[in-house]
Structure 1
Amino acid sequence: MIDISIIIPSYNNLSTIGNCLDSIFSQQTKYKYEVILVDSSDKEDYSVLAPKFPELKMIKLNQRTYPGTARNIGVKAAKGKLIAFTDSDCIVFPDWINSTVDEHKKRDEILIGGAVANGTPHNLVGIAEYVLEFSDFIPQKNVRSMRVVASCNLSISKKLFLQAGGFEDFITNEDVLFSSVLNEKGVNICFVPNIKIYHVNRCNLWKFLKNQENLGYGSYKIRKIKKQPGSFLTKSRLLIPLIIPIRILTTFRKISRGKANCLLQFFVSFPIILAGIIFYSKGFFKGFTK
């Protein structure tokens, strides 16, 4: 019997997926697991992975598929009672499977999110992306209930996942909407920092800025559907300039809870962080026009 099914959505990420799979298949674990890769790439041939990872189960999709929908497809094929999600640009810690299953044995009917460590600590663009996207999930923080956890390090029972309806078909922020649905159902969402992964962040400035623009657009769409912190910003375009000071202050507050080096990273990469927030605001503005 499979104890846990690991689902990985991927789109044209052949450069990083190998390291991700290496970190999973090299786990020293007492639990039986399967790895399901849901690939919708249109420029890369993932069949080259088969010789190195013969146990990998691959689902090939014929068109570009957003991560949430790809995860849903993976869950349908999963044999484990417990589902864990990570992304193709992540590297899981050696005890990731053991820690994930052990935590679920302690708690029933729960969504667990793990910590996200910086996989690009020596690149300023990578640091900026990490600070903006993952400051809520730095490994130094304590076990606690949360409103939202990151889909790159998330686990839940298959039964509860299906009851919640799975992820929505959004380009970004699908984990925010999924967490909101579970919150409304009274499901406890717990952050457990000893379940850790590295996130390999974008190190190309333009790719980072375009991703922040996409995140801003997704943020607008989510806040129109579900009441979230900052939903008032969707009421008028005139409020969009407030995004810049709000995000600077909230990011600083979150990152300052970590170790001193986290705060140092914030200041060192601040010009790039500011540029990212400006592009995020640009994406949020696009939400009004589409």
Structure 2
Amino acid sequence: MISVLMSIYKKERAGYLKSALDSVYAQTLKVDEIVLVQDGEIPSALEEVISQYPDLRIVKLKQNVQLGRALEAGMKVCKHELVARMDTDDIMMPDRLEKQYQFMMEHQEIAACGGDIAEFTGEDMILREKHMPTSPQDLYRYGKKRNPLNHMTVMFRKSAIEAVGGYRHFPGLEDYDLWSRLLANDYQIANIPEVLVKARIGDRFASRRGGWAYFKRYLQLRKEQHQIGYLNTKEYIVACVLTFGMTVMPEKLREKAYAVLRK
């Protein structure tokens, strides 16, 4: 009884989408609902791939509204309490959903559960694995400085997400914004210490996470984390300094920093 939630927009690649969907259908635990949000108009190549999966539940948005709003629109039509996120260019490990479902059934106190990822290139070459803290206590502390869950690996309880306001428009930080609100409202999150998803890394991965525009959006998130009581004043200042350092450093240095931090 799981809904899988995905969102597609015009710049995605047809081959990547097919690989992502195939990995969902190949799960050891079968799901009866896959919600795919079409965020605005998409090219015929993507439409052709989608047509090969007639049981997809399609949510069509007339205009591109970006990821946060698109996922919120999709979540509203998910019929199950447990919702698993998946990106349309990544690949689930075959037993991902089975492991998370068992974990969520055994830990009713957990509102959202993620896991590790194996980052790979378009040539299917694994670059590195990103391992995350696992316990709710460690993740509460970790989230004060860094995103505590890998978004494409997360399974969450829909009722908890709705209780804190759902997904919002926060480009590049939609998930971190959501987890911060969960933690500020005393919900618990966890990670399974296993690779659950192979995550595709583009050539400009580091560049998309830098620059003044990205820093300003991140600074707004830090302000909100402070306002909702997740960060105290000292933690807020430290988080802002760390964010400034990571986002405005030269791209080459940021690439090296990410390579170290994500090991």
- TM bucket normalised to smaller: 0.7 to 0.9
Equivalent pairs counted in the alignment come to: 237
Normalising by structure 2, report the TM-score.
0.77
Partner of 2:237: 232
Query: What's the offset of the Cα at 1:240?
Result: 8.8
Letter in 1 for 2:39: S
Query: What's the offset of the Cα at 1:120?
Result: 2.1
Query: What's the offset of the Cα at 1:108?
Result: 1.0
Query: What's the offset of the Cα at 1:28?
Result: 2.4
Partner of 2:71: 71
Letter in 1 for 2:119: N
Report if aligned partners of 2:210, 2:251 keep a CA contact under 8 Å in 1.
no
Report if aligned partners of 2:215, 2:248 keep a CA contact under 8 Å in 1.
no
Q: Distance in 2 between matches of 1:173 and 1:91?
A: 21
Relative to 1, partners in 2 of residues 1:201 and 1:241: Cα closer, same or farther, differing over 3 Å? closer
Q: Distance in 1 between matches of 2:35 and 2:195?
A: 20
Letter in 1 for 2:223: K
Query: What's the offset of the Cα at 1:276?
Result: 4.9
Report if aligned partners of 1:114, 1:194 keep a CA contact under 8 Å in 2.
yes
Report if aligned partners of 2:161, 2:182 keep a CA contact under 8 Å in 1.
no
Where do 1:86-235 residues align within 5 Å?
86-110=86-110, 111-120=112-121, 127=127, 137-138=130-131, 143-145=134-136, 146=139, 147=143, 148-194=148-194, 196-203=196-203, 205=204, 208-213=206-211, 215-227=214-226, 231-232=236-237
Query: What's the offset of the Cα at 1:52?
Result: 1.9
Report if aligned partners of 1:109, 1:157 keep a CA contact under 8 Å in 2.
no
Partner of 2:34: 35
Query: What's the offset of the Cα at 1:185?
Result: 1.5
Q: Distance in 2 between matches of 1:233 and 1:10?
A: 36
Partner of 2:261: none
Relative to 1, partners in 2 of residues 1:78 and 1:242: Cα closer, same or farther, differing over 3 Å? closer
Moved more, 83-92 or 223-232: 223-232
Report if aligned partners of 2:2, 2:84 keep a CA contact under 8 Å in 1.
yes
Moved more, 5-14 or 143-152: 143-152
Letter in 1 for 2:174: E
Normalising by structure 1, report the TM-score.
0.70
Report if aligned partners of 1:14, 1:44 keep a CA contact under 8 Å in 2.
no
Relative to 1, partners in 2 of residues 1:272 and 1:57: Cα closer, same or farther, differing over 3 Å? same
Query: Runs of 4 or more off by more than 4 Å in structure 1?
Result: 121-124, 239-242, 275-278
Unpaired runs of 5+ in structure 2? 258-263
Partner of 2:3: 5
Relative to 1, partners in 2 of residues 1:247 and 1:18: Cα closer, same or farther, differing over 3 Å? same
Report if aligned partners of 2:35, 2:56 keep a CA contact under 8 Å in 1.
yes
Letter in 1 for 2:4: I
Partner of 2:21: 21
Q: Distance in 2 between matches of 1:175 and 1:190?
A: 15
Deviations 1:100-144, CA, capped at 9 Å, x for gaps: 1111001114211121111229799x95xx7xxxx7x42xx5632
Relative to 1, partners in 2 of residues 1:172 and 1:230: Cα closer, same or farther, differing over 3 Å? farther
Kindly report the root-mean-square deviation, in angstroms, between the aligned alpha carbons of the 2 structures.
3.3
Query: What's the offset of the Cα at 1:49?
Result: 2.2
Relative to 1, partners in 2 of residues 1:102 and 1:240: Cα closer, same or farther, differing over 3 Å? closer
Report if aligned partners of 1:116, 1:199 keep a CA contact under 8 Å in 2.
yes
Query: What's the offset of the Cα at 1:181?
Result: 1.0
Partner of 1:257: none
Report if aligned partners of 1:220, 1:234 keep a CA contact under 8 Å in 2.
no
